């Protein structure tokens, strides 16, 4: 039964959180109506300007990658190594954040370009696209910050809310967090396996084996490309080892940056978490409010927004995950005005502020 058809007595009467206790059920549904209307307005206005934007970003990314890899053939010369590694790192960040993540969300499917479509894009990452789309687009975006439902809370490694059970193993959490950041692509690749469900028998081992095979194929492809093919191509110039080191460095830089952006958008003190029963009979208005409360933005200019894949507008992304990312800066003031109208928290801070808040929580919650 749709929540829209449930009788009033069957719907939740408790507030989503203490910060929204002042809202009536009519207020929450009015918020949903306003955001639905805003979404339709923006989707209807998509056009050639948006298409030019994503194509220009793809062109920039490919230019950075080609130039970076070309410069690295002279990687034995330190300035060339630094310049090439910087360009390659930027290319990997753009491909993962502003292109891959957003293309696989279906933000550009309306263009009907088979080369820029959620069903065909396979990103420069060890996580197979289809598995990522399930764990991220479906599970995470449906159950954002719902403890016991959203497996992105700590990525099954970290304790990011007091509601998660503490054990002595948690004392090493700052170390685990640093390692997860460095090798984030592998953590994301293993995320959809749901190992805890395999152990309890809730997930068939045959399904897990099939997923592991797909991950293995993707890892093998990435390793061959970055750590075998390109170093071999650089052998005639004597730069095989510098190229190998540059590829490793670029992957670490990309991993740390993407981890930083994602954690700062979900886990600083301003982002709220919710119990499992929160999503029982959840209305569209309640879903919208939960997305706002469970997300946090990073303030900054156009370069910050581009480098984060516009996930510096994490609130807007969670409210409108299928809206082209270049529109988030445009829509953010209107979402913020709506929050002010209904006195809903709109969490935003500088990158430094969000990093500090998130890492304080990582250290704090490593303790009982």
Tens of pLDDT along 310-336? 999 999 999 999 999 999 999 999 999
Q: Which of 154, 146, 149 is nearest to 174 (CA)?
A: 154
User: Cα(334)–Cα(332) distance, rounded to whole angstroms?
Assistant: 5
Q: Are 61 and 101 in contact (CB under 8 A)?
A: no
Tens of pLDDT along 276-297? 988 989 999 999 999 999 999 9
Confirm whether 4 is domain-assigned.
no
Q: What is the mean pLDDT of residues 336-348?
A: 97
Confidence label for 250 from pLDDT (cuts 50, 70 and 90): very high
The per-residue DSSP string of 12-81 comes to --S-SSGGGTT--HHHHHHHHHHHHHHHHHHHHT--HHHHHHHHHHHHHHHHHHHHHHHHGGGTTSHHHH
Q: Residue 298: helix, strand or coil by DSSP? A: strand
Domain span at 123: 17-364
Confidence label for 14 from pLDDT (cuts 50, 70 and 90): low
The per-residue DSSP string of 184-202 comes to HHHHHHHHTT-HHHHHTTS
Confirm whether 12 is domain-assigned.
no
Report pLDDT for 15: 67
Q: What is the mean pLDDT of residues 127-133?
A: 95
From the number of C-beta atoms within 10 Å of its C-beta (0-12, 13-18, 19+), residue 40 rates as: exposed
Confirm whether 9 is domain-assigned.
no
Confidence label for 4 from pLDDT (cuts 50, 70 and 90): very low
User: Cα(125)–Cα(309) distance, rounded to whole angstroms?
Assistant: 15
- Tokens (6 digits) for 356: 């500090």
Average pLDDT, the chain: 93
Lowest mean pLDDT among 1-5, 30-34, 125-129, 178-182: 1-5
Confirm whether 7 is domain-assigned.
no
User: Cα(13)–Cα(134) distance, rounded to whole angstroms?
Assistant: 31
Q: How many domains does the chain have?
A: 1
Q: Answer with the residue of higher pLDDT: 191 or 1.
A: 191
Position of tokens 């170093």? 231
Confirm whether 284 is domain-assigned.
yes
Report pLDDT for 2: 37
Confirm whether 10 is domain-assigned.
no
Model confidence at 11: pLDDT above 90: no
Q: What is the mean pLDDT of residues 107-121?
A: 97
Share of the chain above pLDDT 70, in %: 96
The per-residue DSSP string of 98-150 comes to IIIIHHTTTTTGGG--TTS-TTT---SSSS-HHHHIIIIIIIIHHSTTBTTT-
Q: Are 119 and 103 in contact (CB under 8 A)?
A: no
The per-residue DSSP string of 74-90 comes to GTTSHHHHHHHHHHHHH
Model confidence at 33: pLDDT above 60: yes
Confirm whether 67 is domain-assigned.
yes
Confirm whether 40 is domain-assigned.
yes
């Amino acid at each position: 039964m749709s929540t829209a058809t449930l009788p009033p007595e069957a719907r939740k009467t408790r507030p989503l959180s203490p910060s929204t206790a002042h809202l009536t059920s009519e207020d929450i549904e009015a918020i949903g109506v306003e955001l639905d209307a805003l979404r339709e307005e923006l989707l209807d206005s998509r056009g050639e300007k948006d298409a030019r934007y994503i194509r220009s970003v793809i062109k920039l990314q490919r230019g950075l990658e080609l130039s970076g890899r070309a410069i690295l053939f002279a990687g034995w010369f330190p300035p060339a190594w630094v310049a090439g590694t910087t360009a390659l790192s930027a290319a990997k960040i753009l491909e993962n954040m502003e292109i891959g993540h957003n293309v696989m969300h279906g933000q550009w499917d309306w263009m009907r370009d088979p080369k820029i479509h959620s069903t065909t894009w396979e990103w420069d990452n060890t996580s197979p696209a289809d598995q990522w789309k399930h764990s991220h687009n479906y599970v995470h975006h449906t159950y954002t910050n719902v403890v016991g439902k959203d497996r992105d809370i700590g990525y099954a490694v970290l304790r990011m809310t007091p509601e998660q059970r503490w054990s002595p193993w948690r004392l090493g959490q700052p170390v685990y967090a640093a390692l997860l950041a460095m090798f984030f692509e592998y953590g994301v690749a293993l995320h959809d396996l749901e190992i805890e469900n395999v152990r309890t028998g809730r997930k068939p081992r045959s399904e897990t084996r099939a997923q592991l095979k797909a991950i293995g194929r993707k890892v093998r492809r990435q390793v061959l490309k970055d750590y075998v093919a390109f170093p071999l191509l650089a052998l005639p110039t004597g730069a095989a080892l510098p190229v190998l080191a540059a590829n490793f460095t670029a992957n670490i830089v990309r991993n740390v940056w993407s981890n930083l952006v994602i954690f700062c958008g979900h886990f600083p003190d301003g982002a709220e978490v919710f119990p499992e029963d929160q999503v029982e009979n959840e209305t569209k208005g309640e879903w919208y409010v939960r997305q706002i409360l469970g997300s946090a933005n990073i303030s900054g200019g156009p370069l910050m927004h581009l480098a984060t894949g516009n996930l510096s507008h994490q609130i807007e992304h969670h409210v409108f995950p299928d809206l082209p990312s270049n529109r988030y800066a445009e829509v953010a003031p209107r979402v913020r005005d709506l929050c002010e109208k209904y006195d809903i928290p709109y969490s935003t801070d500088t990158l430094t502020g969000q990093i500090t808040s998130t890492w304080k929580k990582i250290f704090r919650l490593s303790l009982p």
